[in-house]
Amino acid sequence: MSGQHVRAAAARALVPVLTAQGSLAGLEAALAAGGVAERDRSLAKALCFGVCRTLPRLQALARELLRQPFKRRDQDVQALLLLGLYQLLYMRVPAHAAVGETAGAARLLGKAWATRVLNGCLRRLQRESDTLQAGVDRDPAVAQLHPAWLLEALRQAWPAAWQAVAAANNQPGPMTLRVNRRRTTREDYLTRLGEAGLEATPCAHAADGLTLSTPCDVQALPGFAQGDVSVQDEAAQLSAELLAPALAAHPGARVLDACCAPGGKTAHLLERFDIDLLGVDSDAERLARVENTLARLDLNASLQQADAVSRDWWDGRPFDAILLDAPCSGTGVIRRHPDIKALRRPGDIRELAALQARLLDNLWALLAPGGTLLYATCSVMPAENREQIQAFVARTSDAELTTPEETGWGQPSGGGRQLLPREGGHDGFFYARLVKRR
Q: Is 247 exposed, middle or buried (0-12, 13-18, 19+ CB in 10 A)?
A: buried
Find, among 178, 174, 152, the residue nearest to 163 by Cα.
152
Catalytic residue chosen out of the listed positions 48, 52, 328, 378: 378
pLDDT band (50, 70, 90) for residue 2: confident
The answer to whether residue 1 scores a pLDDT higher than 60 is: no
Looking at residue 335, its amino acid is R
Angle at 428 between CA 423 and CA 431, to 5 degrees: 145
- Output the pLDDT for position 34: 86
Q: CB of 320 within 8 A of CB of 295? A: no
Looking at residue 122, its amino acid is L
| Mean pLDDT of the chain, nearest integer | 97
- pLDDT tens string 210-247: 999 999 999 999 999 999 999 999 999 999 999 999 99
Q: What are the structural domain ranges in the chain?
A: 2-143, 176-231, 234-436
What average pLDDT does the segment 258-262 reach? 96
- pLDDT tens string 130-170: 999 999 999 999 999 999 999 999 999 999 999 999 999 99
What average pLDDT does the segment 50-71 reach? 97
- pLDDT tens string 355-395: 999 999 999 999 999 999 999 999 999 999 999 999 999 99
**CATH class of the 176-231 domain in this structure:** alpha beta
Phi and psi, residue 110, nearest 5°: 75, 25
What average pLDDT does the segment 408-430 reach? 96
CATH 1.10.940.10 fits 2-143, yes or no: yes
Q: What is the CATH number of domain 234-436?
A: 3.40.50.150
Q: CB of 257 within 8 A of CB of 265? A: yes
Find, among 399, 358, 341, the residue nearest to 53 by Cα.
341
Q: 129-147: b or e for each residue (b if 16 or more CB lie within 10 Å)?
A: eeebbeebeeeebbbbbbb
Q: Mark whether 378 is an active-site residue.
A: yes
| Percent of the chain whose pLDDT exceeds 90 | 97
Instruction: Give the pTM.
Output: 0.96
pLDDT band (50, 70, 90) for residue 171: very high
- Output the pLDDT for position 337: 97
d(CA 64, CA 61): 5
d(CA 15, CA 426): 30
What average pLDDT does the segment 51-69 reach? 97
- Output the pLDDT for position 348: 97
